Amino acid sequence: MRIPDTAGARRAAVQLLAEAGVRSAPIPVERIVKARGITLQFAPLGDELSGMAYIKDGLKIIGVNALHHPNRQRFSVAHELAHHVLHVREITEAVHVDRGFRVLHRDKLSAEGIDPLEVEANAFASELLMPETLLADAIGDAGLDLDDDEAVNALARRFKVSASAMRNRLSYSW
């Protein structure tokens, strides 16, 4: 089994943001998906199903569970976009289904030997939605106390992600 390339996944997200000209939060992930010629579909799916990605006969598709919280949907869109950017071969002609992928423990999952594709997609999605440069600007020189729930929640709202996703992102960034 191959080792996940989380650094490469994060670099790909940074490059995609630069190509899209994104310079502020929240990241317009749906606009980025559509600009890449990917059809984005929201549909009520089983609660355990977060999203799916596939390419069939040249048609690129991302499906997202419409029943999930909007912040989770944004992460699912970014996660499935990662499969389109990083794992084209794996999603061509076969539907890649993400059943309740875990958003919050990318590094821990890697250590546990979880699917490298999922670890990479989570790293990409995290960097795409919460880019280190924009986080650094938002936090400023004063820094941020991870135990300050109000400050973490405010930052999460600014980036339109969950507080737990933000807390996890901050814990491995600095």
Residue 105 structure tokens: 């423990």
Q: In which band, very low, low, confident or very high, does the pLDDT at 173 lie, cut at 50, 70 and 90? A: low
Q: With contact defined as beta carbons under 8 Å apart, do 100 and 50 qualify? A: yes
Q: What is the pLDDT of residues 78-91, one digit of tens each?
A: 999 999 999 998 88
Question: What is the set of domains in the chain, with CATH numbers?
Answer: 6-130 (1.10.10.2910)
Per-residue pLDDT, averaged over 156-161, amounts to 97
For the full predicted model, state whether its pTM sits above 0.85: yes
Across the beta sheet with 49-56, what order do the strands follow?
A: 38-43, 59-65, 49-56, 96-99
